Each structure stands twice: as structure tokens, then as C-alpha cells.
Chains A and B, each alone.
Chain A
Amino acid sequence: MIRGVQPTAPSLDVRGVRYAYPDGHLALHGVDLTVARGERVALLGPNGAGKTTLVLHLNGILTATEGSIAVGGLTVGPDRSTLAEIRRRVGIVFQDPDDQLFLPTVAEDVAFGPANLGLRGAELAARVDEALAAVGMSEHRDRAPHHLSFGQRRRVAVATVLAMRPEILVLDEPSSNLDPAARRELAVILRGLPVTLLMVTHDLPYAFELCDRSVILDGGRIVADGPTPEILGDEPLLARHRLELPYPFSPTLPPAPVRE
């Protein structure tokens, strides 16, 4: 599925990234994060921790004041061809699907990314079909995004970046605003995708369900990094960073069998 990548290079290698906003506010204080190929990592943290800022660094929309970022061995740089390849490799699914889906039909929107990569004709159509099939939205290809349910729109938003065959899929709050069924359907889809996954979320049970590893970003630094059950089991650690498990949830218990 992924071309032109050395098999040894990690999908994501962030080293000592610092970033200050133009107004001088320091958002990232030296972030180090390595995500191996095929890994599924949850990026946790309270509001204002710098999660979205970090995400916008991954594909070169924001440029680090210091430090470096490499995606599948390719260092993010300012020249156009590098940026184009970086943006192919890093597929960001933004929080509000209405921001991501801007064209009148689902198929056109899914085609936008691969068309920017230069694909045309049958090859492009095949990409669109493949991406829509991966999220189970094939039958909605000619509909307008605003006529889809929120969950369907989120799935199409995932398809729009899958169509670029990314090295790493970055999801910003994938479970926000979804009803429980749509949340579960998306989890099933995400679990089935053969890509590296970085999931930015406050939804700790979702992180537990989908990611083996979790990192906590707070105050512009990575403050914890470990297996998800361990991180979620450390109540004082979570409390220090304004994270809490929902009341009945306990990461130490095996998931209870569901009766219907």
C-alpha cells in the first residue's frame, strides 16, 4: 500500500520540536516522539496542551522554530516538492468534517487529494472507489456532504486522506460529536486500516480501544509515553494533566461481555 519508504524508517520521527506563535506564545517546548510503522498511538492531553499545533507541524503547515520532523525517513522541509510528498504521507483528518469536505459531492472531495498528486482518469477513479470502500461509503459517492449524517461525513473525511495512501493517518478528535453507534462503526473501520495511526483525543476509552500506546502532551511537552493500559491506569498522572476516565471505566478490567 505504501510506496517509496525505507522499511526501517519510522513512520514519524519528531525531534526536539519547539514552536512559538507569532505573538511570542510558546506552544511547543521541545517535543520528541517516534512512531514506528504500523503502530497505533493515542496523543492525549488537555485543551490548550499544543496537540493541534503539533499535528499542524507534522505536514509542514506550521514550521518548527527548532527541531526536526521526519515522516517515513523524509525530513519535512520548506521546498515545494518535499512538502507535496510530506502532505501525501501524512493524512490529517480534521475535527470538523465540514472543514474537510468542501466540494459539492463526496466523490469529488475524495478525488481532490489524489488529483493534487497528479492522478487522472481511471487511476483517479480507482483511488476514489478504493478509499470510499475502505470506509463503507461507496454507495454515497454522488451525494452532497451536507446531506450525510455527521458520522458518515466523518467517515468520508477519513476516505479523503486514505485516497492519498498515507504513511501515517492523523486523526484529530475522531470520536467527537458522534453518537455511540457511529463511534463504534468508526472504531471498526479504523481498526481494519493497515496504516500507522496517530489519534489525538480526550476520549480515553477510545484510545484504550484502538491504541496500544499512548503519549500525554501537556504544556507543550511529552510528559508520559507508554502502553495505553499503564497510562490510563495511573490515576495521579492523569489527574496532573487534567485527564479523567469516565466514571465506570477501568482499564485494568477486561472488557465485560456484551449481552444484547
Chain B
Amino acid sequence: MGAGHAHVLYRESDSPVHRLPPEVKIAAMVAFTVAVVATPREAIWAFGAYALLVAAVAALARVNARWLLVRSTIELPFVLFAFALPFLGAGERVDLLGLSLSADGLYGAWNIIAKGTLGVWASLLLAATTTTRDLIVGLDRLRCPQILTQIATFMLRYLDVLVGEARRMRVARISRGDDPRFLWQLRGFAAGVGALFLRAFERGERVYLAMLSRGYTGRMPAVWQGGGAATTGQWLVAATVPVLAGTVAATAAVLT
């Protein structure tokens, strides 16, 4: 299922992590992230333990560290604020490399960066080992509301169609001398976005009509969901990571 998609993050492989059913991986990723977030920020050793866990899973999944690090730059815009904290924070100051920094602010920055990075790593590992299609199947098996999984399915199917339409419209615009290099030349682009929205809207209507014509009654029939759901063994295997992370979090909470 889901073969042949152009996946941005998916890394084709046949590792034990790839073979796990998507729902157990999603559950493990969420549980791991919750454990990380619940860890007190002073327990620096705990975050080292989490990083080791991530490294172990990455090794099992044959995802190399370079890819993981390059891809995790996605979080940079979100944690930029954290770099300002040591300068802006109140409370007692410490001297570091000739700078007077707020201790509280340092902890705050560490907290955001460490937890954010670990969360991004866990998500990247999930995305690297699970196709988008399987992610939706997994969410569906985790009893995610069908309306959400349906929307995701439609997005998966029509994203390429929409991108194709946008590209053709852009080529047609540029062919007629549009050259939107400056902000005040964006009029054509903005009109294009409007036209694209209308097209998407009309397509939605036509898709719905075509679905009705094939007997759609408002609920997607459960077609192939029966087979391939996770076994207890697979749940237990995948549970090792969040259980270890949970133990680390509990220990850290007790110690600090």
C-alpha cells in the first residue's frame, strides 16, 4: 500500500523499525515525546539518556546521523527565541565566556532547545520509517476521527494535483511577461492564489459528485483495514522506547 509516492522524509529501507505497523510507531513517538516534555529541566543527564535512545532507534532504522541533524534544522525558526533568553532572563547572573548571563534564562533556553530537538528527532524518525499513506492508516487504526484521516487522505492525493496547477498557472503568467521580483509586483501572484483556491473549490465539488455517483453515503467504507493491524508482540517491542523514556523521566523527577 502507498507504494511509489514522492516522499520528502521517507527513507526507503527494510529495517525492523520500518517493518513495525504505523500505529505502534505513532503511539511510541507520542509517548516518548510526552516523557521528554515531562522531565524537569535541571536533570541534564536525563536528556543525554533520551538522546542515546534516539540514537539507538536511528541506528536500528538505518537512518544516519547526518540526515537527522540536517533535517532537524527545521526547528531553528521555532527555537530562535530561546537564544535570547539567557540575555533577557532575570534573577542571578553567571559569567560565561565573558558574558553576564541569567542562570534562569540559560535553563529556560536549554529546556526549549533540548525538548524541542528530541521531539523533532522522534518525529523525523517516525517520518523516515513510515510512508505518509501508512501514517494515515495508523492514525485511522488508533481511532483518530475519520473526518481528520479523510482530510489527510485527500491532501495526500490532491497536493500534487494542486502543485501542478499552480506551476502551470505560474508558467502561463511568466510567459506573458510577469516577473514578480519585488513586493509591489505580486499582484499577479495574489490573483493566481485566488484562482487556485477557486479551482480547488470547484474540483472538490466535482470529486464529491463523482464519489456520490459511486454510491458514497457520507462514510468511507472500511476497505482493507482488517488485515495488517499490529500484534501484541509488536506493541511490546515498540513500547520499549517509551517505557525506558518514562523510567528516565520518573527517576529524574524523583531525584530533582
Given contacts A111-B223, A142-B3, contact A102 B211 (CB under 8 A): yes
Residues of B within 8 A of A88 (CB): 215
Contact A105 B1 (CB under 8 A): yes
How many chain B residues touch A (CB < 8 A): the figure is: 31
Residues of B within 8 A of A144 (CB): 2-5, 157
Contact B206 A124 (CB under 8 A): no
User: B168: CB under 8 A from chain A?
Assistant: no
Given contacts A108-B224, A112-B223, A116-B221, contact A147 B210 (CB under 8 A): no
Residues of A within 8 A of B207 (CB): 99-100, 102
Interface residues of B in 84-115 (CB under 8 A from A): none
User: B67: CB under 8 A from chain A?
Assistant: no
Distance between Cα atoms of A84 and B207 in the complex (Å): 18
Given contacts A87-B214, A104-B5, A104-B133, contact A98 B203 (CB under 8 A): yes
Residues of B within 8 A of A164 (CB): 214-215
Distance between Cα atoms of A146 and B165 in the complex (Å): 13
A99 shortest CB reach to chain B, Å: 4
Which of B1, B160, B213 contacts A146 (CB under 8 A)? B160
B2 shortest CB reach to chain A, Å: 6
User: A54: CB under 8 A from chain B?
Assistant: no
User: B153: CB under 8 A from chain A?
Assistant: yes
Q: Chain B at the A interface: mostly helix, strand, loop or mixed?
A: helix
How many chain A residues touch B (CB < 8 A): the figure is: 37
A212 shortest CB reach to chain B, Å: 26
Residues of A within 8 A of B158 (CB): 98, 102
Given contacts A61-B209, A99-B203, A111-B224, contact A87 B160 (CB under 8 A): no
Contact A100 B157 (CB under 8 A): no
Which of A84, A96, A111, A147 contacts B215 (CB under 8 A)? A84
One digit per residue, 1 when the CB lies within 8 angstroms of any chain B CB and 0 when it does not, for chain A 225-245 equals 000000000000000000000
State the B residues within 8 Å of A (CB).
1-5, 133, 136, 153-154, 156-158, 160-161, 203, 206-207, 209-217, 221-224, 226
A sample of 12 more A-B contacts (CB under 8 A), given A103-B157, A104-B5, is: A87-B213, A99-B207, A100-B207, A104-B1, A104-B2, A104-B133, A104-B136, A104-B153, A111-B224, A116-B215, A145-B157, A146-B161
The 6 A-B residue pairs whose C-beta atoms are closest, nearest first, are A116-B215, A115-B221, A113-B214, A99-B206, A146-B160, A100-B210
